[in-house]
Structure formats: structure tokens, C-alpha cells
Amino acid sequence: MKYIDEKRIGTLLNAASSAGADKIDGILSKSKSLQRLTLSESAILLAEKNSSQIKKILDAAHYVKDKIYGKRVVIFAPLYISNLCKNNCLYCSFRSDNSKIDRKALTTDEIKEQVAYLLSRGHKRILAVAGEAAPKGKSNIDFYVESIEAIYSVKQSGNSIRRVNINCAPLNIEEFKKLKSAGIGTFQLFQETYHEGTYKKVHPSGPKSDPENRLDAIERAIKAGIDDVGIGVLYGLYDHKFETLAILCHIEALEKKFNFGPHTISVPRIEPAIGSDFSVNVPYKVLDDDFKKIVAVLRLSVPYTGIILSTRETASLRDELFSLGISQISAESKTSPGGYSDSEEKNTQFSTNDKRCLDEVMGSLLEKGFIPSFCAACYRKERTGKKFMSLAKPGLIAHQCSINALVTLKEYLDDFASDNVRREGYKLIDKQKEGLDDKSLKQLSEIFSRIDSGKRDEYI
Ligand code: SAM
Ligand code: SF4
């Protein structure tokens, strides 16, 4: 696979396992100065087995997360727009050979209904998700554009969806340009596995069976002007240390070519999916402790790249992972088209483990001192791609991020929160205000007054 030298990754991992504990301290102090790690440094962290050394790695990740992101955690909801698919990925219930689910692509009216529900819960950011086949008579790109427009079109009591990201089939450059014109935030595409033999085994047919086309799609998206791209690995398909180093190789290659890397990394672990024996007998199951180490090593290796966690993980593990480096999470997710209005879970892509409603997730985050944020300002102010990184690295958007997070939190508390969550939220806002300088405090209170007088969607 392009950029992924399997032999080199193997050599790095072998060398790392005999590197010696003394190396860890040096690597972690480099990390704490917020510098990006080399592949061999990341390999040494990944290879560490000693529990007290691993604790040091987790503590360092906690430190870096706090330094760069503060206590903020961005929240979004997935919106499955279709489960039609012409691929046969062995791990997914949407695969073409699976006859155990009903197939459905949402109409624009159905999409608007789902969006109205999500808005009524307090969501502002959506990740549209689709299988790789369009409804009859439509091309994939026309279906995506129509769906994105439908999502943005819903207005409810001054609220609307502020950022639509998409996880969909790879497209060509012309099609990516159309996606960008429709107002897409991040284009997400997971390579699933960077191990070529495994890739070919688990993707036996359909367009997805070509790994190079998938790898190239990220570049086509960037060339088409979508400079917030998201990559990811589906953990469980192959050895997690190999996959984690490989994703870092992919990032290095993108950075070399475009001068900026992906906006986000996703770290899904395989969950049981209807009609997929493979997803139940996962070949390289990643244990919770290894998963925590993966998140921590990614946070230390690429400190400015967002890491996304979904409701595939349990509530308690998610709570731990926030401190280790996760910057975005989904909440109250349904993984079937139309799932937000179905009373029973059916036709899902996989089963979720964190089933708490948004208000419960908000409450739990606030209780632990995290600041849940629905902010979409960077993308709307065109702070994306290279520009985002050039502002983020010297800490030049920390001020905007802090203000915008508190503003979106106040909007949630005023419009959607339960009494208890509202009380906790305001306590947290008051505490955060104590740490702001006079200028920021003045700016925040001016925006807060506008919200109190009924204005919404204020950001800097
Ligand atoms: N069809 C597009 C694709 O495959 O890229 C996008 C949508 S697909 C539903 C989104 C992601 O779901 C896949 O990239 C894969 O990583 C993940 N996925 C599939 N089956 C899964 C399972 N059983 N458990 C967890 N994640 C899964
Ligand atoms: Fe289709 Fe994506 Fe599922 Fe593969 S992972 S079967 S491409 S929806």
C-alpha cells in the first residue's frame, strides 16, 4: 500500500521492544513540550509493557490533552442516511451479502425529520454516514449533496445544524468539489486496516476491495479543496501496534505532500453487527488497556490532531478516554437510517455501548469538570487545514475555543438542559470565568447578554 512500508513498520516495532525503559522518560519530556514524535519514538511507547511505565505514558497524554484542548470535548451526532451498499466488508451489517437487515435510504423529508429530532435534543453538529450505493436513479454524489442541503435547511427556534461532516464512499475530484460546495465540514474515510493482506481478505468484493483507491481518496478530497479530512483504523482487523504506526505513517506522508495532516483520527473498535460472524469473532481484539495506550500514544504523537470516539465504547471507558486525548465524541447515537424515530433498534450498522441520552452525557461530562462544546466556529471562519494548524500550534486559537465552547454550552443549558444539568453547567461556567482575563471576560459577557436577549449562534 502506498506510504505504508510494512517491513519498515515491522523493523521499528522490533527495535522498539528492545529499546530499554530509559528511553521513555526522554520521549515523554519531548511530548510534554508539545512536540510531535518520530515514528520510532511512537513505536517505543507502543511497545512498552511495564505497567508503571505505561502509567507515565497515560499521565503524559493527560498533560498534553489539558495543555492543548483544556477541558473541552466537542459533541456530535451521527445521522445514517442510507444502509444501501455494494461492498461486502466482512465486519459490517450493511455489506451486500447480508439479507438480515432491511435496506433503506432516507428521503429528504425523512432526513429533515431526523434532523428536527436531533435539534430538539440540543445537537448542532452532525456526521452524515452512508453505505456505498445510492438510491435507485441517483448517483452517490447527488444523494450526498441533496442530503447535506436537507440537513442544513432545517430551522427550529433559532437553531440549525452548524456543521455537517460526512463519512461516505470515496469520490472523484469533481464529485469532491460538489461535496465542498454543499458546505461539508470534514470528509471522513477510514482505511480500516493498513495491512494489505488483511485489507484484501476483509474486503472481498465491490469498489472498496481496492485499497489504493481508498488511500488516494483522501488526497483527491484535499486536491478538491476539502482541507479538513478525517482518517481512521478499524481496530480488531490486524495487530493494533502495526495499525497505529501505519496511521502515523499515513499522516507523515500527507504532511509531507500538503504541509498539513488530517483534522481528525477516528479509532473505532469492531462491535457485533447483525449478519456478520466476523464482527463477533474479532481476530485481533483490542483490550481496554491496550486501547487506552493507543489513544494516549496518538495524542502524544500528533498533539494537534483531533481524536474522535464514538458510542461504540462504554460510558465508563469513554469517561477515562476523554482525559487521555479524545477531543470529539458522539452522543445518543443511532446507527440505522431513521433510527432516531424508531422505537426499537433494528437495521443497525453495529450495536452501540453508550446508550445514554445527550443530557446524561452532558451531565456526566460536567460532573467531571469537562466542558462539552458544540462549537463549529473554526470551519465557519475558514480556520481549516493548514490555516487551522498554523493557528493551533502556537496556541493562537485557544482564546476563541474557550469563549466559543462556553457560549455553545450556555445555549444548550438555556434551551435544552434538565434542571440538574443546567445547575451544574452554570457552576462550571462561573468557575471557567475565574480563569479568564478582563478582555475575554468582557467579550464573553457581551455575547452572554445577547443570548439572554434571545440571540443564538454567536461565535468568534
Ligand atoms: N460506507 C463507508 C465506508 O465504509 O467508508 C462509510 C460508512 S461506514 C458505515 C463507516 C465506518 O463504520 C467504516 O469505515 C468502519 O470503520 C465502521 N464499521 C463498520 N462495521 C463496523 C463494526 N461492526 N463495528 C464498528 N465499526 C464498524
Ligand atoms: Fe458498506 Fe461501509 Fe459497511 Fe463496508 S463499512 S459494508 S462500505 S457501509
**CA dihedral (134, 207, 129, 93) positive or negative:** positive
* 8 A C-beta contact, residue 176 and residue 224: yes
pLDDT at 255: 95
Q: For residues 382-389, give the mean pLDDT.
A: 82
Query: Is the confidence at residue 30, as pLDDT, over 70?
Result: yes
pLDDT at 315: 81
Whether 168 lines ligand 1, by a CB cut-off of 6 Å, is yes
**CA dihedral (107, 224, 6, 247) positive or negative:** negative
Best of 233, 234, 335, 347 for a ligand 1 pocket test (most atoms within 8 Å of beta carbon): 234
pLDDT at 387: 82
pLDDT at 133: 95
Best of 87, 143, 167, 209 for a ligand 2 pocket test (most atoms within 8 Å of beta carbon): 87
Which residues, other chains included, contact 426 with Cβ-Cβ below 8 Å and sequence gap of 6+? 413
How far apart (Å, rounded) are the C-alpha atoms in residues 108 and 142? 12
Find the 409 Cα to ligand 1 centroid distance in Å.
Answer: 30
Which residues, other chains included, contact 195 with Cβ-Cβ below 8 Å and sequence gap of 6+? 6, 237, 238, 239, 242, 243, 246
Find the 123 Cα to ligand 2 centroid distance in Å.
Answer: 25
How far apart (Å, rounded) are the C-alpha atoms in residues 195 and 246? 8
pLDDT at 355: 79
* 8 A C-beta contact, residue 90 and residue 202: yes
How far apart (Å, rounded) are the C-alpha atoms in residues 266 and 166? 13
Q: For residues 42-57, give the mean pLDDT.
A: 95
- Write the DSSP assignment of 317-385 as a string of letters: HHHHHHHHT--EEE-S---STTGGG-SS--S-SS--S----HHHHHHHHHHTT-EEE---HHHHTT--H
The kind and range of the H/E element at 450 are helix 438-452
pLDDT band at 356 (very low <50, low <70, confident <90, very high): confident
Q: For residues 397-420, give the mean pLDDT.
A: 92
Neighbours of 96 (CB within 10 A): 18
Percent of the chain past pLDDT 70, that is, above it, reads 97
Q: For residues 430-443, give the mean pLDDT.
A: 92
Whether 350 lines ligand 2, by a CB cut-off of 6 Å, is no
pTM score of the predicted model: 0.95
Query: Is the confidence at residue 352, as pLDDT, over 90?
Result: no
Query: Is the confidence at residue 307, as pLDDT, over 80?
Result: yes
Give the ligand whose atoms come closest to the C-alpha of residue 128: 1
pLDDT band at 333 (very low <50, low <70, confident <90, very high): confident
pLDDT tens readout for residues 159-217: 999 999 999 999 999 999 999 999 999 999 999 999 999 999 999 999 999 999 999 99
Higher pLDDT, 40 or 310: 40
pLDDT at 12: 95
pLDDT band at 342 (very low <50, low <70, confident <90, very high): confident
Higher pLDDT, 377 or 172: 172
- Nearest Cα residue to atom 19 of ligand 1: 92
pLDDT at 10: 95
pLDDT tens readout for residues 109-158: 999 999 999 999 999 999 999 999 999 999 999 999 999 999 999 999 88
Task: Give CA torsion, residues 346, 349, 350, 351, to 10 deg.
Answer: -40
Query: What value, to the nearest 5°, has the Cα angle with vertex 73 and ends 72 and 75?
Result: 140
pLDDT tens readout for residues 274-298: 999 999 999 999 999 999 999 999 9
